Amino acid sequence: MTRRRQFFRIRSSHRTYDRRTNKFTINIAYETAAAITPRTVAVAEAFGLGLDEQRRFIVYENVELRIGPTDIVYITGDSGSGKSVLLRTICKDLGDSAISMADICIEADRPVVETVGSTFEEALELLSLVGLNDAFLFLRTYEQLSDGQRYRYRIAKLVESERQWWIMDEFAASLDRDTAKIVAFNLQKIARQHGKAVVAATTHTDLHEDLNPTVHVHKRFGKEIVVDYRPNEQNKHCSLVDEMDVRKGSMEDWKKLAVFHYRSHRVSPPRKIFSLMRADELCGVIVYSYPPPTCFGRRYVMPRMTMTELNEKLSTISRVVIHPKYRAIGLGTKLIKDTVGLCGTCWVEMIAVMSKYNPFAEKAGMKKVAEQPKSDGVLRIVETLEELGFNVHLLSSEGYVLSRLKMLSEENLARIKGEFVAHSHGRFRKSFACDLPFGTNENYQKNVLNISLPKLAGLIKICGVLMQTKSYLFWEKPTQSVCCQTC
């Protein structure tokens, strides 16, 4: 018996794309017939079917879509209704001006900070843009990211590509629905900020509010299709934020999220703590502390005061941490904006390392006053360490530093200790403080000369922290005169 192979053939006619009018005209149909096998023959005999008959199905017939190069297009419909074939057709017509998320090249075994951007600064900007703004995440490989983080990373790669059209099939289909909404909100925000177009197809219809599409195509089975056009307006508010509220927090709340903060889990004695909650889920924490005696940038905005006056009138934001799931939807800004007036002082200051790449405090109303210059003494210590073979980019890694120290001669160890004695710093002295918060020079110098290698590695780690570029931000209560009388 001669076997005829089964076929499924797409027939597309009169498919056009007019770049001048941004109009797609789409006709798609397919033909199919069954292969001849003993079982298909048995089916044909049982139901009176003709196996030689070809069936023709029309999926799109003279469908016109007006899609511009900055539109957000949301294609929904049941599985098998024709979403993917429409997406492929649009992508083919757009040619090199489009990029599909599925075609992004992934370097799975390298730290993500090494795989985006042409420079370190550009890499941090791209990763921060999509919500991968955690120092620990910068160092992870793609394979070590969660599904939601991988989606965010791929969006960063779309931005980096500089293509005008971003194509996404099965958009956020593998993500839990909360994460999918966050990704949808971020995607439309980034695309609109960069003047790009998104064409995303999915079976899920729950992303409309967060994606805020300008064109919604809902494909039903057969030829039926519904197209809705809306104004192109950026959605500035993720739907999940409506379910969150700020409450009085505790150190226990901070400890729960401390693992997601790049800094030490130790914090100064808190003045007040606020938590951001979604029902019983902890989404973020902000810690207000009492101010340190001195701080760069403060002299530009505040008069000289005694420590008692500072404690009465000034608070320092010492920690802000958002659960990784909820990053890049404005929660850091919300935490500061909703609590800065509740901390009980006229003035609030904040030292931020990431402000250059993620200015959430400025969006909340804080003013960027100055950037901290690197201390001459710290620079001299770092120069000495570099001369002795230390990689200055790894000074914040105590394990690396300790291994290097163990390789040095007593003479070179004495040289390092001498540099720390000659170039005292408040943060160094604090490591040996007993009665006073920042200790005394005399006590500091005596301890440095007799310091153990692990303790010396800790001092060098502080050097690494002090080499970071930090910004000083300041907030002043609008009703200053009344506030100061009641502080």
Is the domain of 291 the same as that of 322? yes
pLDDT of residue 7: 41
pLDDT of residue 8: 41
Burial (CB count within 10 angstroms: exposed 0-12, middle 13-18, buried 19+), residue 51: middle
Lowest mean pLDDT among 34-43, 153-162, 251-260: 34-43
In a domain, 236, yes or no: no
Is the domain of 60 the same as that of 72? no
In a domain, 6, yes or no: yes
22, 47, 65 — which closes off a domain?
65
Would the pLDDT of 12 be above 80? Answer: no
Is the domain of 71 the same as that of 202? yes
How confident is the model over 144-185, as pLDDT tens digits?
999 999 999 999 999 999 999 999 999 999 999 999 999 999
In a domain, 427, yes or no: yes
Give per-residue burial for 184-222: e unless 16+ CB within 10 Å, then b.
bbbbbbbbbeeebbbbbbbebeebeebbbbbbbbbbeee
Is the domain of 262 the same as that of 346? yes
Q: What average pLDDT score do residues 132-149 get?
A: 88
Residue 461 and residue 404: Cα distance in Å, rounded?
A: 13
pLDDT band at 258 (very low <50, low <70, confident <90, very high): very high
Q: What average pLDDT score do residues 419-426 get?
A: 89
Is the domain of 299 the same as that of 327? yes
In a domain, 461, yes or no: yes
How confident is the model over 343-362, as pLDDT tens digits?
999 999 999 887 777 899 99
Q: Report which of residues 469 and 230 the model is more confident about.
A: 230
Residue 184 and residue 180: Cα distance in Å, rounded?
A: 6
Lowest mean pLDDT among 170-179, 448-457, 476-485: 476-485
200, 229, 258 — which closes off a domain?
229
Q: Report which of residues 466 and 57 the model is more confident about.
A: 466
pLDDT of residue 470: 87
Is the domain of 295 the same as that of 346? yes
In a domain, 235, yes or no: no
**How many domains are contained in the chain?**
4
Is the domain of 434 the same as that of 341? no
Q: Report which of residues 361 and 134 the model is more confident about.
A: 361
pLDDT of residue 1: 41
In a domain, 234, yes or no: no
Residue 482 and residue 208: Cα distance in Å, rounded?
A: 46
Q: What average pLDDT score do residues 238-252 get?
A: 96
pLDDT of residue 48: 74
Would the pLDDT of 47 be above 90? Answer: no
Q: What average pLDDT score do residues 189-214 get?
A: 96
Residue 310: CATH number of its domain = 3.40.630.30
Residues 54, 31: contact at Cβ < 8 Å? yes
Q: What average pLDDT score do residues 253-275 get?
A: 87
In a domain, 390, yes or no: yes
pLDDT of residue 484: 47
Residue 263 and residue 465: Cα distance in Å, rounded?
A: 10
Is the domain of 217 the same as that of 81? yes
> If you average pLDDT over every residue of the chain, what do you get?
88
Number of separate helices (H) and strands (E) present in the chain: 18, 17
Q: What SS3 class is residue 305?
A: coil
Residue 164 and residue 198: Cα distance in Å, rounded?
A: 9
pLDDT of residue 466: 84
Pairing of strands 98-100, 165-168: parallel
34, 65, 96 — which closes off a domain?
65
Is the domain of 215 the same as that of 293? no
Would the pLDDT of 4 be above 50? Answer: no
Is the domain of 289 the same as that of 150? no
Under DSSP, the state recorded for 391 is -
pLDDT band at 480 (very low <50, low <70, confident <90, very high): low
Two tokens, residue 173:
């289909």
Is the domain of 116 the same as that of 199? yes
pLDDT of residue 15: 62
Q: What SS3 class is residue 202?
A: strand
Q: Report which of residues 252 and 260 the model is more confident about.
A: 252
In a domain, 206, yes or no: yes
Residue 104: CATH number of its domain = 3.40.50.300
Is the domain of 295 the same as that of 400? no
pLDDT of residue 137: 84
pLDDT of residue 396: 79
Q: What average pLDDT score do residues 440-446 get?
A: 82
Going from the C-alpha of 185 to that of each of 155, 230, 401, the distances in angstroms are 12, 17, 42
pLDDT of residue 54: 66
Element (H, E) at 149: helix 147-161
Structural domain containing residue 399: 376-466
Q: Report which of residues 267 and 407 the model is more confident about.
A: 407
